[in-house]
Amino acid sequence: DADVTQTPRNRITKTGKRIMLECSQTKGHDRMYWYRQDPGLGLQLIYYSFDVKDINKGEISDGYSVSRQAQAKFSLSLESAIPNQTALYFCATSEASGRALNEQFFGPGTRLTVL
């Protein structure tokens, strides 16, 4: 079984709808991240969480919110989806600082299309 899973893998929705993307991990890592990937822009950090009680904004948090329900679960929500949020979304995890050089382990991605 995959260590980092994302659901759904693909989603098509309409402008104005609320969408939740979910991420689960079995690696036992404290840190979790949400990125979006756009062609030619690489990965941009949306939100990150260093433990269950710690949530931080990344580079492009506007229009998004997150919830860290447990160490193993980190959800990303689009409260009112808009077309320019069409992208590939990745969840990632890592151990705490000082161990394993902050190597991040990525899920398979969720392709979101907002019409």
Number of residues counted as binding other proteins (CB under 8 A): 23
Helices (H) and strands (E) counted in the chain, each on its own, are: 0, 11
Unique residue bearing structure tokens 């989603």: 11
CB nearer to other proteins: pick between 79 and 103: 103
Residue closer to other proteins, measured from CB, 40 or 70 = 40
Task: Return the residue of 23, 25, 29, 31 that touches other proteins, per CB under 8 A.
Answer: 31
Q: 45 near 37, Cβ under 8 Å?
A: no
104 lies in the binding site for other proteins (CB under 8 A): yes
Candidate residues 20, 43, 52, 72; the one interacting with other proteins per rule CB under 8 A = 43
Query: Which of these ranges, 17-25, 38-46, 60-68, 79-87, lies near other proteins under the rule CB under 8 A?
Result: 38-46
